[in-house]
Amino acid sequence: MKRLTKLIERNISGKKVLGFFVLTNIVYSFMLTVTIPRTMNFSNGMKLLDMMPTGYELNYVRELFNSLGKVGRATYLTNQIPVDMIYPLLFALTYCLLLGYFLKKINKLNTQFAYLCLLPIIAGIADYLENFGIITMLKSYPDLTEIAVKTTSTFSLIKSISTSVYFIALIIVLVILGFKAINRKKQMLTIDK
């Protein structure tokens, strides 16, 4: 854990964290506004697998891939997935450093709370494994297997759970930081009197 903490401490300058945050969210916005809608044009309103945080089953994947058709499946494979192969790394780095930055501000980076910085890394790894599963299923369609779907769906669940827990932790840390800032201002006002 000390190695992770040292790595975070070396990389949590405000400019670096902000730069990663901006870049990550540009890529995310591009997916939300360009590649996902482009792929969903072929899905007849069905959600893409990447957008199903509670997972999916074999029948849903069959129906989605059938609905996408040949062009839609190719679009998923050549438009959405390539961008989604960049995003997990950016997400893992950015949100690991972001939480580390705020933990440092409340003097909790060198405590057990630093383990929370692993959550976006877990989410990023799960996102890559989900992507590899989707690629495998797209390439093997119509020969989809229950095990491929269940495995990929499990990685989707791990991604969504670790991401949700991370953002809850980040909100809690930000609230603590806010209370500390308010208390500091109160103390300064008391000293000035």
Q: Rounded to an integer, what is the distance from CA 97 to the centroid of its chain?
A: 13
pLDDT 10s digits, 39-94 = 999 999 999 999 999 999 999 999 999 999 999 999 999 999 999 999 999 999 99
> Average pLDDT for residues 8-27, to the nearest whole number?
91
pLDDT score, position 5: 82
Q: Amino acid identity, residue 44? A: N
pLDDT score, position 192: 61
pLDDT score, position 8: 84
Number of neighbouring beta carbons within 10 Å of residue 131: 22
**What spatial distance separates the first Cα and last Cα of the chain, rounded to whole Å?**
44
CB 59 within 8 A of CB 102: no
pLDDT 10s digits, 5-17 = 888 888 888 899 9
> Average pLDDT for residues 17-46, to the nearest whole number?
95
What ranges do the domains of the chain cover?
A: 2-192
pLDDT 10s digits, 108-139 = 888 889 999 999 999 999 999 999 999 999 99
Q: Above 80 in pLDDT, residue 191?
A: no
Average the pLDDT over each of 85-89, 154-158, 181-185 and give the range with the smallest value: 181-185
Q: Above 90 in pLDDT, residue 193?
A: no
CB 31 within 8 A of CB 83: yes
pLDDT score, position 150: 97
CA–CA gap between residue 52 and residue 50 (Å, rounded) = 6
